[in-house]
Amino acid sequence: MAIPIPMATGCRSSSRWSMVSLKSALPPLTSAASSIKLPCRHRTPPRIRSPQLVRSFSSLSLVNPLHSLGFSDMSSFGENFTIIDNGCRFYAMRHGRRVPKLNRPPDQRRALLRGLTTQLLKHGRIKTTRARASAVRKYIDKMITLAKDGSLHKRRQALGFIYEKQIVHALFAEVPDRYGDRNGGYTRIIRTLPRRGDNAPMAYIELV
């Protein structure tokens, strides 16, 4: 009986694996688990199911064989399969990761950064949190570099990123005069007083 091991599907882009994939691959484990108090998982009413399902786990070699009975806390680190033997890097710490996550999922993060660059190009100076200001610098530099090139393809790439098309056309019109001599570093960040509601460190970011 081949029970697929989710880790063999290779290192995902986040290089982390989750219990969800493991649980979805394995048969559901509600019998003994519900009878023993689990912290936050299954609130199903206690049901006594036949123990044959539990015995079917024997083909999967677990680090802790008692886990199949559901004794330990299912979300503890002690029972995870850290043997990812296809060569991908997996650190428990953040070493070397340079993408700012901004406490948002990837689609929201992209939308936030698009909105911030649109507003900064529209108003010239905005006030936002320090983390967002330093995250948006990269995208502003990209947009100004696209405008410096000026070709149709670059214009369409900029139109795909910035939300308002008048801003793109205005940007492509004025960037050669304004930033023609400057190589990079088109923004300036000035730190300022924290925000009153949540004491978040704030900053002004402006086009140089």
Residues in contact with other proteins by CB under 8 A are: 121-127, 174, 188, 190, 192-193, 196-197, 204, 206-208
Answer whether 66's CB lies under 8 Å from 78's CB. no
Q: Which is nearer to other proteins, 92 or 193 (CB)?
A: 193
Q: How far is the CB of 128 from other proteins (least distance, A)?
A: 11
CB atoms within 10 A of CB 5: 13
Q: How far is the CB of 159 from other proteins (least distance, A)?
A: 18
SS3 of 79-93: HCCCCCCCCCCCCCC
Distance CA 177, CA 187 (A): 16
Q: How far is the CB of 154 from other proteins (least distance, A)?
A: 20
Q: Which is nearer to other proteins, 33 or 140 (CB)?
A: 140
The DSSP result for 6-33, as a single string, is GGGG---TT----HHHHHHHSPP--HHH
Q: How far is the CB of 155 from other proteins (least distance, A)?
A: 19
Q: Which is nearer to other proteins, 79 or 141 (CB)?
A: 141
Q: Report the candidate in 150, 156, 141, 160 with the shortest Cα–Cα distance to residue 205.
A: 141
Q: Which is nearer to other proteins, 73 or 206 (CB)?
A: 206
